[in-house]
Amino acid sequence: MHPLWLVSPFFFWGTAMIVMKAILPQTAPLFLGAFRLIPAGLLVLAAAVVLGRSQPRSWRAWGAILLFALVDGTLFQGFLVTGLARTQAGLGSVMIDSQPLVVALLAWWLYGEVIGLWGWLGLALGLTGIGMIALPPQEWAHLGDYWAQVAGHGEWWMLLAAVAMALGTVMMRWLSRWVDPLVATGWHLVLGGIPLLALSGLWEGAAWSQVNAWGWLGMAYSAVLGSAASYGLFFYLAAQGNLTSLSALTFLTPVFALTFGALFLGETLTLWQLSGVILTLISITLINQRHRLQTPVAQPVPVPVSVKPSP
């Protein structure tokens, strides 16, 4: 698959975070989350029909879809929009994209995926990189105080969203045993958005009444490209590819979010944050090339030929 297709979900997710943050003053979080999911799910299901994908045919399949919808639809999107209302879009994207570490652990435990030394090093560098993007250097000396305050702010909700997204990612391979990945993606968006819409009606009232034309256009962007296209492609890849390598690409999401925030919202990157971006890109390279990097170590090397030190 062309690299642009691999990167596109994370580009749309990163830019959608900025768009959603801009829309929030006109509406309410749960309504925004529901509108992002339900229309997107209907679009994905329509595409599945056009492509001739089979619908679920057993109670086991529907049960798996409902569980998937709860975790990666209702909980993930609910935590995300609640956190987004309480923190900056770029920072929120950074917090969510700590999830590859959780994916790596779950994929190693459930599916036996080999991470290796280079993979763990890449994950550590990636988390360090997004931490540098999020926190200025002076804050690193007070991380204990910072994390003690996280529970009362949007960052806590974003971390919960990261865990829910990680669980959803590893669930897709299990779910694809009974359901076509594209069909599962569509149904989980629709079914996951319904509880958010119901809760919005109970708690937020007429959350759509103040949305202007630009707001509806932004919501359409977050639904069509930020959800339908991105989720469809991401979970198609998750059902077939290496989960650790795929999830590592989510480190690109805050990079896109911060870059476009600088372009369109006047936000600027410090030298410290730029260093974090570079470190993040290095981490993605290490994780995706970890098997190739480890191959020379596994091969016997004759003496006295000079050899590279074992990693």
Helix (H) or strand (E) segment spanning residue 38: helix 29-50
Average pLDDT in the 77-85 region? 92
236 alpha-carbon distance from chain centroid: 14
pLDDT 10s digits, 233-281: 877 777 766 666 676 677 778 778 878 877 776 666 678 878 887 887 7
* Exposed/middle/buried for residue 254 (C-beta within 10 Å: 0-12, 13-18, 19+): buried
Average pLDDT over residues 291-296: 68
Residue 215 identity? G
In degrees to the nearest 10, what's the CA dihedral of 212, 215, 217, 221?
-170
Integer Cα distance of 34 and 307 in angstroms: 57
CA distances to 77, 291, 297 from 300, rounded to whole Å, are 49, 16, 8
* Max intra-chain CA distance, the chain: 77
Measuring CA to CA, how many Å separate 99 from each of 76, 106, 159?
A: 12, 11, 8
Locate 207 and state its tokens.
Answer: 């959350």
CA–CA distance from 82 to each of 73, 94, 156, 185 (Å)? 14, 15, 10, 22
Question: Using one digit for the tens of pLDDT, what is the confidence trace for 173-187?
Answer: 788 888 998 899 899
Contact 241, 97 (CB under 8 A): no
Average pLDDT, the chain: 81
Q: What are phi and psi of 232, to 5 degrees?
A: -60, -45
Note the pLDDT of residue 306: 36
Segment 82-105, tens digit of pLDDT: 988 887 777 677 777 767 767 777
Nearest to 294 by CA among 140, 172, 114, 174: 114
Give the predicted TM-score (pTM) of the model: 0.78
Instruction: Write out the two tokens for 92.
Output: 């929120």
